[in-house]
Structure 1
Amino acid sequence: MLSSTTLSEAEALLRALFDSSDVLSGVFELEADDYRYAAVNGATAAFYRRTPEQMIGRSGRDMGLTPEQIDQRMGVLWECWRTRTPQRREYAFEHDGMSGWFLSSLAPLKGDNPRIGFVLIDVTRQKLAEEAADDHRRKLEMALDATELGLWEYDIRNDRIFWDARMRALFGVGADTPIDFVLYDSLLYPDDRPEVLAAYTAALQGAEQGRYQVTHRSADGSRWLRGSCQVVFDERGEPERVLGTCRDITAEVAAREQERLLIAELNHRVKNNLATVQSIAVQTARAAPSLRSFIDTFEGRIVALARTHDVLTARSWSDADLSEVIARETLAYGDRVRLDGPTFPLASHQALALGLIVHELSTNAAKYGALSAAGGTVDVLWRAADDGAEIAWIEAGGPPCSPPSAPGFGTRLMTKLARGDLGGDITFDYPPSGLSVRLRCGTQGPRMSS
C-alpha cells in the first residue's frame, strides 16, 4: 500500500488537475492478480456512484468486475509497468446500465512499487459519430454500386482530381495515374468538349447555383457518359471545388436510337401498308363483276397480308423464312399442297410480296385450277441460288389448263410484286396438265418501289 503522505500528495495533484472536468483519472496499485485504487478524482468516484474516499483501497473484484475482465486489464497494466511505456487504447464499457467507449491513457509512475496512473476520456459521442459516418459511407457505397455511379471530386485551386475505381474504369484510367484537368479534358470526345466546358464555365460563374449536367462520349466515341455536378463556393463566393457523379448511359442512348429507328420504320410501314391496301381495293373493285365478288376477293387479299404480318411480327420484323410464308398461305389446303426446299431468309418487304403472290396463286388454284378438283395437287419447290431463290409452282390433277385471253388484275399484281418488292421476276406457263409458274426472288437488299 502507498504511505499516507504519498497518497495525500497524489490525491491533491490529481484533484487539482482533473476534478473540474469530466475526465476520469487516478492511480492503480498493482497486485499479483488484481489492482487497487490508490487515488481517484471525483469523476471516477461518481462513475461508480461512490465518493473518492469510498474508492480508495478497493480492488477490481470489489468493484464487481468479473475474473475475465480483471485478467484482461491486468495484462495491459503489467505490460505498461514492465516496459515502462505509456499505453493508449480505446475500449467499450458496460456499467450500471450504461454502455459506451473510453479512451484510456496509462502511464507508469516513478518508484519501486508498481503503480499506474490512468486517464479515461468518455469518447462515446465520437465513436457513435464515427459509426454513423461509417454507416453513411457504407450506404453511399451501396447506393453508388446499385446505380452504377462513379464518384469524383475536383480541387480547383490545387488542380487535383479524385476519381474512385468506377470513374477510372469508365474513362479507362489506371489506378495509379494522377489526374488533373488537362488529363480529364483529353478524355472527352473532341466534338463534345466545347459543350462540356461551356457548362462547367457557366457553373463556376454561379449559373443554376453551380449545378450542371453534361452528356458526352469517351475520347474514342465508344461510350456515352452522363455527369451530374455541383460547384462548391467558399465564404467569399469563389469556386473552391466540384463534386460529381458519372454514369455509363451507352445502353440508354442505343435504346433511344433504336426506338427512334423503330418509330420511323413503323411510320414507313403504316404508310406503305395503307398504300398497298388502297391499291388492292381500287384494282379489285375495277375487276370485280359484283359487290359480293369484290368483298370476297378484297378480304382474301387483306387476310393474306395479315398472315405474313404475323410471321414478321414473331421475328420482330427482322426477316422471315420463305418456307414459313408459303406454308401460312397454303395451310388451308393441307397435304394437297406439297412444299420442298431449303431455308431461305426474306426481308420484310419481300415476305409481304411473296405472301400476296402465293395467296393469288392459291386462290386461283382453288377457283379454277388443281385445287378445284378432288384429286388435284400443287407442288411448290424452291432452291437457293447465288442471286436469290428460284420457286416453282406446279399444278396437277385439275381441269385442263389454257392461257387467259388477257391478264387479269391478279396476274398484273403478281408481276408487279415480283419485279418490285421481291426483287426478281415471274413467268406463267399454261400446259393442259396444269398451271406452271416460275418465280425468282432476289437476295435481301434495299426495298424496291412497289
Structure 2
Amino acid sequence: MTDTRDNGPDGPENPPADGDGHDALLESVLESISDAFYALDRDWRYVIFNRAAEQYFGVSRDNVIGRSIWDLFPQGRGTAFERCCRRAMDERVTSTFESPSAIRPGRTVELRVAPMSGGGIGVALNDVTERKRAEAALRESEQRLDLAVRAHGVGIFDWHIPSGRVLWSEEEERLFGLEPGTFDGRIESWRDRVASEDFAAIRARTREAIAARRDHLDFRFRIHRPDGQLRHIEGAARILYGPDGGAERMVGTNMDVTDRVAAEQRQRLLINELNHRVKNTLAAVQSIAAQTVRRADTLAEFRDSFEGRLMALSGAHDVLTRHQWDSADLADVVDGVMQPFHPGERLQVSGPPVRLSPGQALAFAMAIHELATNAVKYGAWSGVAGRVRIGWVTEGRPDRPGEVRFTWSEEGGPPVRPPSRQGFGSRLLRQGLVRDLGGAVDLAFAPEGLRCDIRAPLAEVD
C-alpha cells in the first residue's frame, strides 16, 4: 500500500498520532487558563498539574506528578473537598462549591470537581476572594440604600419611555397609597393619580427637558390616593438617551413632602400674622404715647404713665406668648397687670376660667392697668384702707356666643367725684374698650368708690 501523506518540506515526515495531538491541544488549553487545574488518577495520584496550579500551591509540577494528593496535602482529609472528590471518583458526580482556602488563610476558593474519562477526576480551582468581597460590599451598600430609602420614605421609579411601562419600588407604591406588588406598571396609572392641574405642568417641563437633551429634571406635584388624601410629592429624575438621540428611560425618586409643605404654609401665615401684630403694637404704642404726652404736665409724669402703660401691654404679650398667641386666660391677664402694683390683701379676684382672644387680652390688660393706676392716684389704693374687688361671670345662650361680665369695684378710699375732664383712661375705657371688645362699658363714680362694669362677647378660641 502506498503512503500518500505529504513528506515534503511543508509537512512533517512523522506526524503525531491523533491521540498525541489531542493531548497536546488539551495541555495547551490547560496551560493558558487562569484557573488552577489538576487531574488525579484512580489511585489519587497527580497526572496533570497546570502552571496556574503551580503558582497557587507554590510547588513545581515535577514535585507532584505521580504522587498522592493525600500525601502532599493531608489537610484535605475529612473535609467537604474530600467528600466531593470521592463522589466524583466513585459515583461520577460533578460538584461545585466554595470554601475557605486550606493553604491560604483569609482567601476563598471556588472548586469544581468532575469525573474524567479513564476513571480519574479533574479539579478546577479559582480564587474568588476579591469577587466575594465585592459582592459583600455591594450587599452592604444595597442594605444601606434600602435602609435609607425606607427610613426617609423615598420611592424609586424606572420609566421605559417608548413602551410606557414603569417599574415602581415597594416604597413608591406605598407613597401612592398602594399595597406592594399591586401597581400595574402602566404610565397611564400614574397619570390618573396626579392632580390634573399639576400633570400639564409636569408634561410641559418633561418635554422641554427632552427637547433640550437635558439629563436632569426636578419636579413637584400633588397626587390623589385611593383613600382620598391629597399628598404633595417632590422628586428628581435622570433622563437616559439612546444611540439615536431619543429619550429611552427616566429613572428617579419621589418623596412625600406634604408635612413640609404644610409647615411652610404655617410659617408664611405666622410671618404674616407677626407683621400684622407688630404693626398693631406699634400703632398702640404710638397712640399711648400721643395720649399720654397730651395729658402729662411734666416729663416725669409722662415717663411714669407711659412706662406703666407699656408694661401693661408687655405683660399681656407675655401671657399670649406662653400660649403661642392662640388665647389667654382672663385670670392670667389680671395677675400679670396687677403684679407691679403689689396690692396684696387689698385686692380680691374671683371668676371662672375664661379664654380670651389675643385682641381681647390686650384690650382687657390696658383697661385693667388704667383702672389700677387710677386707684393708686385717686381711688381705693391712694389711702391705707381701700380695697378693690375684681370679679367676672360668663353668660351664654344656645343661639348666640357666650358673654363675659367683668366688674371692678372700689371701697374704703377717699370720696369719689366725677372727673372735671375726660382723660386718657376714661377715653380708653368708654371708647377704645367698646371698640376693641365690641361690648359695653359703664363707669359709675359713686361716693363710696369707682365701679366699672364691662360686658363683652367671647370670641371662639381653640
Q: Find the counterpart in structure 2 of residue 199 from structure 1.
A: 205
The one-letter amino acid paired with 2:34 is D
- Indicate the SS of the match to 1:242: strand
Residue 139 (1) aligns with residue 147 (2): no
Q: Find the counterpart in structure 1 of residue 14 from structure 2.
A: none
Q: Find the counterpart in structure 1 of residue 335 from structure 2.
A: 327
Q: Find the counterpart in structure 2 of residue 218 from structure 1.
A: 223
Q: Find the counterpart in structure 1 of residue 399 from structure 2.
A: none
| Alpha-carbon separation, structure 1, partners of 2:41 and 2:325 | 90
Q: Find the counterpart in structure 1 of residue 373 from structure 2.
A: 363
Q: CA deviation at 1:260?
A: 0.9
- Indicate the SS of the match to 1:95: coil
| Alpha-carbon separation, structure 2, partners of 1:147 and 1:61 | 57
Contact preservation (8 Å) 1:418, 1:441? no
Output the aligned Cα RMSD: 2.6
- Indicate the SS of the match to 2:254: strand
- Provide, for residues 343-380 of structure 1, a one-character-per-residue CA deviation record: whole Å limited to 9, x for no partner: 11111111111100000010111111111121211111
Output the TM-score relative to the length of structure 2: 0.85
Q: Find the counterpart in structure 2 of residue 276 from structure 1.
A: 284
The one-letter amino acid paired with 1:402 is R
Aligned partner (choices 149, 168, 185) of residue 173 of structure 2: 168
| Alpha-carbon separation, structure 1, partners of 2:262 and 2:165 | 33
Residue 414 (1) aligns with residue 421 (2): no
Residue 109 (1) aligns with residue 120 (2): no
The one-letter amino acid paired with 1:187 is R
Q: Find the counterpart in structure 2 of residue 90 from structure 1.
A: 98
Map 1:419-430 onto structure 2 (within 5 A). Answer: 419-430=434-445
Contact preservation (8 Å) 2:437, 2:457? yes
The one-letter amino acid paired with 1:399 is P
Unmatched segments (≥5 aa) in structure 2: 1-19, 397-401
Q: Find the counterpart in structure 2 of residue 4 from structure 1.
A: none
Contact preservation (8 Å) 1:60, 1:70? no
Worse overlay, 79-88 or 329-338: 79-88
Q: Find the counterpart in structure 2 of residue 56 from structure 1.
A: 65
Q: Find the counterpart in structure 2 of residue 341 from structure 1.
A: 351
Contact preservation (8 Å) 1:11, 1:41? no
| Alpha-carbon separation, structure 1, partners of 2:66 and 2:212 | 68
- Provide, for residues 233-253 of structure 1, a one-character-per-residue CA deviation record: whole Å limited to 9, x for no partner: 123322111111111212221
Q: Find the counterpart in structure 1 of residue 34 from structure 2.
A: 22
| Alpha-carbon separation, structure 2, partners of 1:378 and 1:29 | 118
The one-letter amino acid paired with 2:259 is A
| Alpha-carbon separation, structure 2, partners of 1:230 and 1:186 | 22
Distance 1:105 1:437, change over 3 A: same
- Indicate the SS of the match to 1:191: helix
| Alpha-carbon separation, structure 2, partners of 1:86 and 1:330 | 97
Aligned length: 431
Q: Find the counterpart in structure 1 of residue 186 from structure 2.
A: 180
| Alpha-carbon separation, structure 2, partners of 1:79 and 1:405 | 123
Aligned partner (choices 146, 152, 160) of residue 155 of structure 1: 160
Q: Find the counterpart in structure 1 of residue 12 from structure 2.
A: none
The one-letter amino acid paired with 1:45 is E
The one-letter amino acid paired with 2:249 is R
- Indicate the SS of the match to 1:174: coil
- Provide, for residues 166-206 of structure 1, a one-character-per-residue CA deviation record: whole Å limited to 9, x for no partner: 21111112212222210111111122111111122222223
Distance 1:103 1:157, change over 3 A: farther
Contact preservation (8 Å) 2:239, 2:250? yes
Distance 1:357 1:36, change over 3 A: farther
The one-letter amino acid paired with 1:338 is Q
| Alpha-carbon separation, structure 2, partners of 1:29 and 1:388 | 108
Contact preservation (8 Å) 1:418, 1:440? no
| Alpha-carbon separation, structure 2, partners of 1:227 and 1:205 | 20
Worse overlay, 364-373 or 139-148: 139-148
- Indicate the SS of the match to 1:127: helix
Unmatched segments (≥5 aa) in structure 1: 1-7
Distance 1:107 1:293, change over 3 A: same
Q: CA deviation at 1:255?
A: 1.7
Q: Find the counterpart in structure 2 of residue 40 from structure 1.
A: 49
Output the TM-score relative to the length of structure 1: 0.88
| Alpha-carbon separation, structure 1, partners of 2:36 and 2:436 | 94
- Indicate the SS of the match to 2:446: coil
Map 1:210-249 onto structure 2 (within 5 A). Answer: 210-219=215-224, 220=228, 222-249=230-257
Contact preservation (8 Å) 1:394, 1:434? yes
| Alpha-carbon separation, structure 1, partners of 2:333 and 2:139 | 64
| Alpha-carbon separation, structure 2, partners of 1:73 and 1:196 | 61
| Alpha-carbon separation, structure 2, partners of 1:157 and 1:121 | 43
Q: Find the counterpart in structure 2 of residue 309 from structure 1.
A: 317
Distance 1:148 1:63, change over 3 A: farther
- Indicate the SS of the match to 2:410: strand
Q: CA deviation at 1:287?
A: 2.3
Residue 118 (1) aligns with residue 118 (2): no
| Alpha-carbon separation, structure 2, partners of 1:75 and 1:335 | 100
- Percent of counterpart pairs with the same letter? 33
Contact preservation (8 Å) 1:10, 1:39? no
